[in-house]
Amino acid sequence: MLLNYIKIAWKVLLRNPFYTFISLFGISFTLMILLVLSAFLDHLFGSHYPENHRDQSLYVQMTRMQDSSRQSSMTGPATYRFLEKNLSALRTPNTYGIFSMFKGANTYVDGKRIKLSIKYADGGFWEVTDFTFLEGKAFNESNFKNGDLVAVITDKIRDDYFGKGQSVVGKTMLVNGLKYRVMGVVAASPITRPVSYADVFLPFNSPKSEYESPGVNGSYMAIIIPKNKADMPVITKEFEQIVNRMPKPFMENGMKVYHLESRALTYLNNFTNQIFGNDQNEVFFMVVALFMVLFMALPAINLVNLNISRIIERSSEISVRKAFGAPSKTVLWQFVVENVFVTLIGAGIALIFAQIILMVFNRSALIPSSDLTINFTVFGLGILLALIFGLMSGVYPAWRMSKLKPAEALKNS
């Protein structure tokens, strides 16, 4: 029966090419925009290079300190000492890396200024991220112990500073007025992943890293990767308890701190907490879903009108079927299936055009090193959106025609 409905839908599409073009254009354009938007959201929050384990990682990005009345507060990243002391106290097995936010700097080659983004990192940073080393290796405990002035740079800075494609391990480059020996070259990360983004990575104990700063408020963050994903809530709770045990009140930048909050959360939780407040992922997803439904609403309404016109043309067919005993439910089901079938064809076209747009976007370098793609998650979301769109635009016309009385339909046909 389902196959027959699809065959009928295909014949109807071929019967009126102009209507088919209008319908497929509206469907595919709407879904294409939503697919591109979904790919961008997946790029921002999903697991991608070099944070391929983001879905099973915890991030410590913010600390919040308040006075006794909670009227004054300070929010921002932590100091290296604060993170190292509290993360090393975790009892649940894990791997963690500590690193600074990226900071701007300049260097010069033949009088030409090159802007740099610098990040200070410990050895664990290279374990919790998946940077691809094109040449050389990461700095390690020996380099920290000896205070070596070494650096890992991206392929982009290698090309800008030394020349495109040069072998640079062992060469020196000037950063912050000091000569650093290049130990490794990694494929660059896009700036849309600020946690891992930088042009030059230096050891955490390098000059000007401020890793010895006391107190809580600093410029460092951390990624924790548990051995098992099931340990994530355990580590979150354990880290919270460790922070809560810190003696209070204490002085921080002139403020007497009575309340201190620092949490190990997923990347998305960290983001939504800053926008919507604590643990409000549901609000974020509701906002995104509402936007998508509203975006689909207008073309869906237009398609409803088109579908009604199309179905009215088939009123004689419907009336004959109903006159021979076809129940309204069967007619309703037929037109819903037909509309979903047409919508899925539009979704296929949308997927192709969305993929082309993303390829052009990636090559345009509007976001250097970006890698927006339609992966299985985005593809699955696209199919879901197509089904929702098909139902939104098809149920009402189908319901209306299923209620059509045979005598009335024959009279109007």
Q: Is residue 271 part of a domain?
A: no
- Is 155 in a helix, a strand, or coil? helix
Same domain flag for 299 and 252: no
Beta strands in 306-378, from DSSP E residues, in sequence order: none
Is 270 part of any domain? no
- Res 11: pLDDT: 77
DSSP 216: S
Are 240 and 334 part of one and the same domain? no
Give residues with Cβ within 8 angstroms of 169, minimum separation 6.
135, 136, 182, 183, 184, 185
Where is the domain boundary, 230, 265, 300? 265
Looking at the structure, tell me whether residues 19 and 121 fall in a common domain: no
Whether residues 347 and 391 share a domain: the answer is yes
Give the structural domain span for 116: 58-265
The domain boundary residue, chosen from 237, 265, 293: 265
CA angle 46, 91, 88 (to 5 degrees): 75
Residue 256 lies in a domain: yes
Residue 273 belongs to some domain of the structure: no
| Cα maximum dimension of the chain | 94
Are both 207 and 89 inside the same structural domain? yes
Among candidates 145, 150, 148, 158, which has minimal Cα distance to 182?
Answer: 150
What DSSP assignment string belongs to 375-400? -HHHHHHHHHHHHHHHHHHHHHHHHH
Whether 195 and 50 have beta carbons less than 8 Å apart is answered as no
Please tell me the predicted confidence (pLDDT) of residue 259: 95
Indicate if 14 and 110 belong to the same structural domain. no
Tokens of 30: 């709407």
Residue that terminates a domain, selected from 265, 298, 320: 265
Asked whether residue 74 falls in the same domain as residue 212, the answer is yes
Same domain, yes or no, for 349 and 383? yes
Confirm whether 53 is domain-assigned.
Answer: no
Determine the Cα–Cα distance for residues 34 and 347; give it in Å rounded to an integer.
11
- Indicate if 159 and 204 belong to the same structural domain: yes
The predicted pLDDT at position 326 comes to 74
Residue-level pLDDT, tens digit, the chain, 413 residues:
777 777 777 777 777 777 778 878 888 888 888 889 889 989 999 999 999 999 999 999 999 999 998 888 999 999 999 999 999 999 987 899 999 999 999 898 888 889 999 999 999 999 999 999 999 999 999 999 999 999 999 999 999 999 998 999 999 999 988 999 999 999 999 999 999 999 999 999 999 999 999 999 999 999 999 999 999 999 999 999 999 999 999 999 899 999 999 999 999 888 888 777 666 677 777 888 888 777 777 777 777 777 777 767 777 777 777 777 777 778 778 777 887 888 888 888 988 999 999 999 988 878 888 888 888 877 887 778 777 877 777 777 777 767 766 666 666 55
Kindly give, in sequence order, each residue whose CB lies less than 8 Å from that of residue 348, ignoring residues fewer than 6 positions away. Answer: none
Number of structural domains found in the chain? 2
Instruction: Return the structure tokens found at 183.
Output: 């130990």
Assess whether 82 and 171 both reside in one domain: yes
Q: In this structure, is residue 151 part of a structural domain?
A: yes
Q: Is 338 part of a structural domain of the chain? A: yes
Q: What is the CA radius of gyration of the chain?
A: 29
Calpha distance 234→146 (Å, rounded): 36
Residue 59 φ/ψ, nearest 5 degrees:
-120, 135
Query: Residue 138 corresponds to which amino acid?
Result: A
Residue 257 pairs in a beta bridge with 250
Residue 63 in any domain: the answer is: yes
- Helix-helix angle 315-323:281-313, to 10 degrees: 90
pTM, to two decimals:
0.83
Same domain flag for 136 and 230? yes
Same domain, 243 and 362: no
